[in-house]
Structure 1
Amino acid sequence: MNDWITALEGRHASDTRVEFDTPEPARQAMERTVIVPLVHMAVLDVSGTGADKLLQGQTSAQVELADGDFAPLTSFCTPKGRMLANAQLLRVSEDRYRLILHRELIGSLRDHLRKFAPFYKTELTIRDDLALLGLIGKEAEALGEVGFDLVPPRVWHQAGDGERQILAHPGSQPRLMVCLPQAQASEAFRQLSAQAVPVGNSVWRLHDIQAGLAWLTGAHYDALLPQMINWEALGGVSFKKGCYTGQEVVARAHFRGQVKKRLVRAQLEGEHLPELGASVNDAGGKSHGEVVAAEIDAYGQAEILAVLSTRDDLGPLHVDGQAVKRLKLPYPIERLDPESLAKAV
């Protein structure tokens, strides 16, 4: 558990979960501005004179686009194109890049990149001394500016300096992620809690689901192509850059239309929260996909993201006996070049 979390009042926490005594937290986020400790996410710094070259050869992002303003999505793959992790890429100084990804995969990604680091005079550091906070709601941008003296940026962009960064994430309401030293986190959380309701990180994860944004966990390590979580539709894959590990397979799947599974958003007709990796079955019990994210929504029902077969004739589906009701994704399933996102105003 992060040390600063232990100082918070009314919290119940584990390594990747934190909840508060706040009633109906998901509904609070619909009606008020909330503040969230993002304990399920973590930070990996890649620093050194060759950090950009190391990342350029390993990541699906065009690294030069990460310029301290645009902060692109990215993924790291095996030679077979299967994802080892997906992340958001920041540049925080001339020779320092920052990756924000799910806590479960930060150690394995560091170990993977360590194999190449000596050739590029690069250091890889898990930043346990940093904290991540989330703000959701109509007043999120105002609180971010007042609380951290940083002007909130556009979605998938960053603002700040080498010590603190603020990022804007997509959603039906404004969403900000703040990265700051742990030594400042408890006081910042206390001050902002006077104007924003403290809620657990399940609320942030629910808003990720509703935004069609899946962060890879250990349940799907080395199992999915980036396109299977719609990563290219979110601008997480550059098809204009040179080679990187897994690039050939990822490009072939795109240009030949060989993606047989896609991320879908759905609601389950029941209150049971499925495990990550739970099978999505048809009436005959045949599996057509599996759950990659799941949370309880403001109405007490489970909302999920699932990687599901692209076939049209699947019929009624269920997860753990709960019927699947498909919901609309907030973006089209088509290629979105990060180069265009970087230039957009």
Structure 2
Amino acid sequence: MTDWIAATGGRLEAENRVLFDTPDQARLALENTILTPLAHLGVLDVVGSDAETFLQGQTSAQVALADGDFAPLTCFCTPKGRMLANAQLWRVAKDHYRLLMHTSLLEPLAEHLGKFAAFYKVNLDIRDDLALLGLVGREAAALAEVRFDVVPPRPWHQTANDDLQLLAHPGPRPRLLACLSAERAIEVWQRLSEHATPVDNAVWRLHDIQAGLAWLDANQRDAYLPQMINWEALGGISFKKGCYTGQEVVARAHFRGQVKKRLVRAQLDGNRLPAPGSAIEDADGKRLGEVFCAELDAYGEAEVLAVISTREAALPLSVAGQKLKLLKLPYEVERLDPESLAARG
């Protein structure tokens, strides 16, 4: 249900993009607190007495770590180790888990998991009655504490009250994601917008890019090993848990160093946004990989996440005639165990 978005003054358009008439939005986010409906993301609930056991056999996360405080990244794979979806997992209550992912993957993943859910005491529920709000900026935590009456969490953790969960995501500015009923979202939006400026959800996507955080959509499912989007460097893979679908391939790629493509962050020398899947070529015209996602930054230039070959390439790189400059990722591309991430917060 997206009726609540119209009540914010935003316009929901193609590809789950929400638009506002606010000028200079990405630049505004550099110094101010901004607010956006996260219409491109959605929620799948897994509920039942077998929910933890069921998820443990399907997902790359150590499900017991989702304890109501830590909210780990995770992914679901084919037997060949290719991702069907990547997500954030958190526990709402006993025997009740929630998965955050790109909205276009909710139905495909629910259909896939439904093949196995029949053997467990578990129900899968796409929650189209929930709203997701994003707060970004230096005052985001203080504003959330006052308006939601919860202590804002650390990145990849959660806090909650009776009818709302609040999660923190990494990025160049503090970022909080609120999950609440669509009915309550209208009232909450009105109160938050007194102190935060409404912007397009493209600004949140831009901050994902700057955080080196790639969310698959339906067009990208079954295309990448988790390591190809640096998922193990973000704590999205537990190498200490038991078996799950695709685990053998994912583990072999890690321990044998067989990952031939990696996610990189980059900037183009123009303001033309390449479509996901656009070819990245080296100086000799050889294809190295493809654009994963792209958004315009505060200076009107295209920033991208791309998946490219790890082999040395002839420079410069380009996308459809635009020169591509590689930028530094905000994390080291090395294994980060979610167990240690949960322990140290």
Matches within 5 A, 1:79-98: 79-98=79-98
The match for 1:45 is 45
**What TM-score do you get using the length of structure 1 for normalisation?**
0.98
The match for 1:274 is 274
The match for 1:216 is 216
Would you say the 8 A contact 2:6–2:12 is kept in 1? no
Would you say the 8 A contact 2:284–2:314 is kept in 1? no
Matches within 5 A, 1:247-258: 247-258=247-258
Let me know the Cα RMSD of the aligned residues.
1.1
Would you say the 8 A contact 1:15–1:39 is kept in 2? no
The match for 1:242 is 242
3-state SS of the aligned residue for 1:116? helix
Q: Does 1:343 align with 2:343?
A: yes
Q: Distance in 1 between matches of 2:282 and 2:138?
A: 40
Q: Distance in 2 between matches of 1:54 and 1:127?
A: 19
Aligned pairs, number: 345
Matches within 5 A, 1:134-283: 134-161=134-161, 163-283=163-283
Change in Cα spacing, 1:133 to 1:16, as seen in structure 2 (3 Å) is: same
What is the CA-CA distance between 1:242 and the residue it aligns to? Answer: 0.2
| Amino acid paired to 1:260 | K
Would you say the 8 A contact 1:70–1:157 is kept in 2? yes
3-state SS of the aligned residue for 1:178? strand
Matches within 5 A, 1:22-37: 22-37=22-37
3-state SS of the aligned residue for 2:35? strand
Q: Could you report, residue by residue, the CA deviation over 1:12-58 in whole angstroms, capped at 9, with x for unpaired residues? A: 53451001000010001001000010000000000001111110000
Any stretches of 5+ residues in structure 1 without a counterpart? none
Change in Cα spacing, 1:187 to 1:310, as seen in structure 2 (3 Å) is: same
Would you say the 8 A contact 1:92–1:161 is kept in 2? no
The match for 1:302 is 302
**What TM-score do you get using the length of structure 2 for normalisation?**
0.98
Q: Distance in 1 between matches of 2:15 and 2:174?
A: 26
3-state SS of the aligned residue for 2:110? helix
Would you say the 8 A contact 2:291–2:304 is kept in 1? yes
The match for 2:55 is 55
Q: Distance in 1 between matches of 2:164 and 2:56?
A: 24
What is the CA-CA distance between 1:220 and the residue it aligns to? Answer: 1.3
Would you say the 8 A contact 2:295–2:304 is kept in 1? yes
Q: Is 63-72 or 157-166 further displaced after alignment? A: 157-166
Would you say the 8 A contact 1:219–1:277 is kept in 2? no
Would you say the 8 A contact 2:10–2:18 is kept in 1? no
3-state SS of the aligned residue for 1:242? coil
The match for 1:111 is 111
| Amino acid paired to 1:344 | R
The match for 1:78 is 78
Would you say the 8 A contact 2:5–2:12 is kept in 1? no
3-state SS of the aligned residue for 1:119? coil
3-state SS of the aligned residue for 2:119? helix
